[in-house]
Amino acid sequence: MRTEHATVGVAGVNRANSGFYDDNGYLIAPDLLTTAELEELRQEATEVFRGNRGQVDGLLDAAGLTDTEVLARYTAIHFPHKLSTLIRGYLFHPRIVNILIKIVSLNLKCMQSMLFVKAPGKLGQSWHQDEYYIPTRDRSLVGAWIAIDDASVENGCLWLIPGSHHPSVIRRRVPGNDPEFAEKDMIELSGYERDRIIPIEVQRGSVVFFNGYILHSSRRNSTANSFRMALVNHYMSAESMLPWDQDGKLPATEDLRDIVMVAGEDPYAWKSIVEVNKPYLRAEAPTRRS
Ligand SMILES: O=C(O)CCC(=O)C(=O)O
């Protein structure tokens, strides 16, 4: 099935594309980043995975290796903005924030970043909803997925089910053994017709905004030499508290204050900001072939 996506162009968010976001749970902004920005992000990613921005458990010695050899080892790192001031700067990218304040809230905070390298052969992430992992309560969670490389079906682009963020419930997860995915469980998809599941193929420099309740996944990078690098930053309205304990890794809390205020006012500014999340590498699942 050919899908017509609504896009955000130079005119920004308007009634038509914000209506599309409300109805479908995602929005694509092509050409949001310049080639120079993409190149500096790629170079910075290499520095991060070489360990030049700080040591992270599991990062291997990169001495004597080419950049490609270094990156080929990894799928993703969580919280790279805590290692790299350059990556932290991208949380505030004006063209991204301008869209977010229209579709989320004028008061905006970021609680997570993830830098995907997704080297050839690396597995994808099974069907899930981000809200399952990051409880925002007020349904304002949104991912801003910045394509540093072209993302295609072959190299493991995002897939999603438009409209599946309605009615904002957390779906049941069931065991699965799909060779495309690193995880062994996923959301049960039986209620959805096959032709509602669409790939989000985008060119580098595009940003895909997607709602925290939308069902999405990505498949294995089945190419021999095409990386699929993406920086994903997660935001929510600053009005809402964030009872996020990172799957029990952190003590239970009514409001995790390890956040970055990105726009507007912080209604909870009287609470201090804390630094408790530590950058970590996404566990490497052994590549399974179908
Ligand atoms: O980029 C990917 O492969 C998966 C990203 C994703 O699922 C997410 O950001 O929630």
Task: Indicate if ligand 1 lies below 6 Å from the C-beta of 116.
Answer: yes
- DSSP letter (8 states) at residue 166: T
Please answer whether residues 127 and 216 qualify as being in contact, where contact means their C-beta atoms are separated by less than 8 angstroms. Answer: yes
Q: Which two tokens stand for residue 52?
A: 């030049």
User: How far is the centre of ligand 1, averaged over its atoms, from the C-alpha of 255 (Å)?
Assistant: 24
Task: Indicate if ligand 1 lies below 6 Å from the C-beta of 229.
Answer: no
CA 78 to chain centre: 10
Q: Which two tokens stand for residue 267?
A: 């209604």
Sign, CA torsion 42/26/13/263: negative
- pLDDT recorded at residue 289: 44
In this structure, which topology does domain 15-281 adopt according to CATH?
Jelly Rolls (2.60.120)
User: How far is the centre of ligand 1, averaged over its atoms, from the C-alpha of 187 (Å)?
Assistant: 14
User: How far is the centre of ligand 1, averaged over its atoms, from the C-alpha of 261 (Å)?
Assistant: 22
pLDDT under 70 in the chain at which residues?
A: 1-3, 10-11, 286-290
- pLDDT recorded at residue 176: 87
- pLDDT recorded at residue 103: 95
Residue with tokens 């905006």: 108
* Residue type at position 161: I
Q: Which two tokens stand for residue 141?
A: 């969670």
Task: Indicate if ligand 1 lies below 6 Å from the C-beta of 151.
Answer: no
β-pair partners for 202: 151
- pLDDT recorded at residue 192: 84
- pLDDT recorded at residue 287: 56
CA distance 64 to 60: 12
Domain ranges of the chain: 15-281
- pLDDT recorded at residue 286: 66
End-to-end CA distance of the chain: give it in Å, rounded: 24
User: How far is the centre of ligand 1, averaged over its atoms, from the C-alpha of 217 (Å)?
Assistant: 7
- pLDDT recorded at residue 13: 83
